[in-house]
Chain A
């Protein structure tokens, strides 16, 4: 279990770093997929089976393809050539991110979380379905509405302007 955690954690961090550092956008997406798939593996390791599969289904199956389509639709030679990847104020951005991460890690390490590992809570698919249909039915409906709105919005935004009228 320990080895599995460390391998997956290394994959997550390496994938994330590479996704942010590589030059080619498609490579960045592929590295992002490494991170997200490893994250799904971590969810499985933590006993959240349903979430892990949903993560793969949504991110690898949908979001990756969306980003890839966006990359191909906005292709220009600007990024392929040698040029600065980062914005002029990149040092500030990295500094802020480093500061935030430092604060987070410091507070995590300083916190008094009990070190024990409790029994894994059961999360069977039937339970999740039951909950979704009873207690969480309102959020579920809201998400349905939100996704519909997002889809219609995305279609209208991405439509060529002359066809929009």
Chain B
């Protein structure tokens, strides 16, 4: 019955003027044929299943792209054995991870050791539920979406601690302590750069934040936040903090394999390790999705006459660009030292984010000014702040001639 209804509906759906509606209509059609009390449950289950399937597939693709991309950056072909051009490599990796022995150290706290990967992955999946993927394609339109995102993100710190502590391994604990210190430090610039957007839009709902970025200036430049000076600075601060938050290179100290084996993952193997790995990629997708929503106009098309492309394709296209930038950075930058990492968060990003909030306030109260002047004044303020920061930084890093004590 349901299936037949879908078949009969299909041509009707394809003829819709707005292609964004396809998925929404499809789900409505399916749910419509169910008995009343089940509609809500099935509707939620469909959303959950689609989210898990899409991001699970994206995870597989991302690992492949990462390995191929890193290979190309290092002038290697990357994995190319399993399937044509190595496209089946993620399956091979998954099978390998699944059939590996699941080692639990004898001294480990078994329950906490088992729970840690779940506590990491479940909140990240919750974070997916507030991001608008397309026009009308938002799992839950929460009034306090941004707050929800950061609230569930906070649980990952606890998960990292659980993973590090339960192994009874000094490297695990060291890695967990590093990870927590790093995540707490970088959460502050992350939230502060989000605050500018929330302040300008006047809402914590991600749907409204995207809606506020619709339209175009002079019919060409999209009204995305990144094209405002505070948005650009905020985006840069947000992205740096986001990379640190998702423990990616160059901020991958918690897993620095040359120093502390694998950090909090030292005692994990097999499927639990795979779950951790998946959690980290999911975290990367979630925070990239938030960055797209906050600064890059969410699902809005970059040019006005491209509006006929389904909106979710724009979202995922932007997500792939983010993914590539993450990989590019990983292929380029070496790992930071712990003191550099902390200094960077507290002495560079935090002041920049605070100054950026001030600039956003100025932008807000100069709405009557002519556009370019307003833009230039605000940009100048940020550049001044940056130059001032640079001077103080460079001064502290001045190289002195090296002196040798024993060799003459």
Q: Do chains A and B touch in the complex (CB under 8 A)?
A: yes
Q: A residues near B, CB below 8 A?
A: 26-27, 30, 33, 49-50, 53-54, 56-57, 60-62, 64-65, 68-69, 72, 124-126
Residue of A nearest to B143 (CB): A125
B336 in the interface (beta carbon within 8 A) = no
B177 in the interface (beta carbon within 8 A) = yes
Task: Decide if B158 touches A53 in the complex (CB within 8 Å).
Answer: no
Q: Tell me the bound Cα distance from A69 to B154 in angstroms.
A: 16
Q: Can you list 28 A-B pairs with a CB-CB distance of less than 8 A? A: A26-B112, A26-B165, A27-B112, A30-B112, A49-B142, A49-B144, A50-B147, A53-B147, A54-B151, A56-B154, A57-B151, A60-B151, A61-B150, A61-B151, A61-B154, A61-B155, A61-B157, A64-B158, A65-B158, A65-B161, A65-B180, A72-B173, A72-B177, A125-B143, A125-B144, A125-B147, A126-B202, A126-B203
Q: Tell me the bound Cα distance from A65 to B157 in angstroms.
A: 8
Contact partner, B144, options A27, A50, A61, Cβ 8 Å: A50
Task: Decide if B147 touches A54 in the complex (CB within 8 Å).
Answer: yes
Contact partner, B143, options A61, A68, A69, A124, Cβ 8 Å: A124
Report the minimal beta-carbon distance from B373 to chain A, rounded to whole angstroms: 29
Q: Tell me the bound Cα distance from A53 to B153 in angstroms.
A: 11
Q: Tell me the bound Cα distance from A108 to B112 in angstroms.
A: 38
The 4 A-B residue pairs whose C-beta atoms are closest, nearest first, are A61-B154, A56-B151, A57-B151, A53-B151
Q: B residues near A, CB below 8 A?
A: 112, 142-144, 147-148, 150-155, 157-158, 161-162, 165, 173, 177, 180, 184, 187, 202-205
A contact residues around B155 at 8 Å (CB): 56, 60-61
A-B contacts besides A61-B154, A65-B157, 11 pairs, CB < 8 Å:
A30-B162, A53-B148, A56-B154, A56-B155, A57-B147, A60-B151, A60-B155, A62-B184, A64-B158, A65-B180, A72-B177
Report the minimal beta-carbon distance from B256 to chain A, rounded to whole angstroms: 20
Residue of A nearest to B165 (CB): A26
Chain B's interface: helix, strand, loop or mixed, by majority? helix
B contact residues around A124 at 8 Å (CB): 143
Q: Tell me the bound Cα distance from A1 to B63 in angstroms.
A: 42
Report the minimal beta-carbon distance from A144 to chain B, rounded to whole angstroms: 14
Q: Tell me the bound Cα distance from A50 to B202 in angstroms.
A: 16
Q: Tell me the bound Cα distance from A54 to B147 in angstroms.
A: 7
Q: Tell me the bound Cα distance from A57 to B187 in angstroms.
A: 11
Q: Tell which of A49, A50, A61, A65 has the most Cβ of chain B within 10 Å.
A: A61
Task: Decide if B161 touches A68 in the complex (CB within 8 Å).
Answer: yes
B contact residues around A64 at 8 Å (CB): 158
Task: Decide if B158 touches A33 in the complex (CB within 8 Å).
Answer: yes
Q: Tell me the bound Cα distance from A50 to B35 in angstroms.
A: 33
Task: Decide if B144 touches A53 in the complex (CB within 8 Å).
Answer: yes
Q: Tell me the bound Cα distance from A56 to B180 in angstroms.
A: 17
Q: Tell me the bound Cα distance from A64 to B162 in angstroms.
A: 11
Report the minimal beta-carbon distance from A62 to chain B, rounded to whole angstroms: 8
Residue of A nearest to B156 (CB): A61
A contact residues around B205 at 8 Å (CB): 125
B contact residues around A57 at 8 Å (CB): 147, 150-151, 154
Residue of A nearest to B187 (CB): A61
Q: Tell me the bound Cα distance from A64 to B161 in angstroms.
A: 10
